[in-house]
Amino acid sequence: MMHVVRQHTGWIEVICGSMFSGKTEELIRRLRRAMIARQKVAIFKPKIDTRYSTTEIVSHDKQKIKSKAVEKPEEILHHALEAQVVGIDEAQFFDNSLVDICQKLANMGKRVIVAGLDQDYLGKPFEPIPQLLAVAEYITKTHAICVVCGNPANHTYRKTKQKDKVVVGAADIYEARCRNCFVPPEKEEEEESQ
Ligand code: ZN
């Protein structure tokens, strides 16, 4: 006969979408629920993202929750040993080692909630989010509202001409756009030069 050993099972939740789609708000909402239930919560964000605060994650609508800024995903493992719930914001700014770290945390029995941009400003999948989506138990895709036409927006449009993949900014640099209104920058340049 097979032995069924009941174990404390962890899992991975991913919250992804364009900028201004409420990813961080949703992450904060879930983490607050866990805190109300007196679960031990540890929250992390990449050191690169200092738009609003270095010791908190802050949503565009100014909701806050205390977090630790780390440079590399391994640091999360080290600081999250005691936690039952691990929250990670702006995951697109971490390298692909984040995937293994999330797997390890979930295998240790922790609930891991990761929020991040799923596409870059070119409309291409933004690693390591695609890899995380593949191994996650639960996926939530959030939508913003297209600033041009009001349809649900799935893309992040960069208003400036900078070409680096990572340019940290908010409404000064980016806006949410739907499939119809999103024009990748290289296409836009082609059209301008014609
Ligand atoms: Zn639109």
Distance (angstroms) between ligand 1 centre and the Cα of 155 equals 10
Least Cα distance to 31 among 97, 80, 73 occurs for 80
More confident residue, 55 or 115: 115
Does residue 90 carry a catalytic annotation? yes
Average pLDDT over residues 103-126: 96
Distance (Å) from CA 105 to ligand 1 centroid? 39
The model's pLDDT over 4-18, given as tens digits with 9 standing for 90+, comes to 666 679 999 999 999
pLDDT given for residue 155 in this prediction: 96
What is the domain partition of the chain in residue ranges?
11-143
pTM, to two decimals? 0.88
- The CATH number fitting domain 11-143, selected from 1.20.140.10, 3.40.50.300, 3.40.1280.10, 3.20.20.10: 3.40.50.300
Question: CA 25, CA 62: separation in Å to the nearest integer?
Answer: 9
Instruction: Answer yes or no: is pLDDT of 150 > 90.
Output: yes
Does the structure show a pLDDT above 70 at 105? Answer: yes
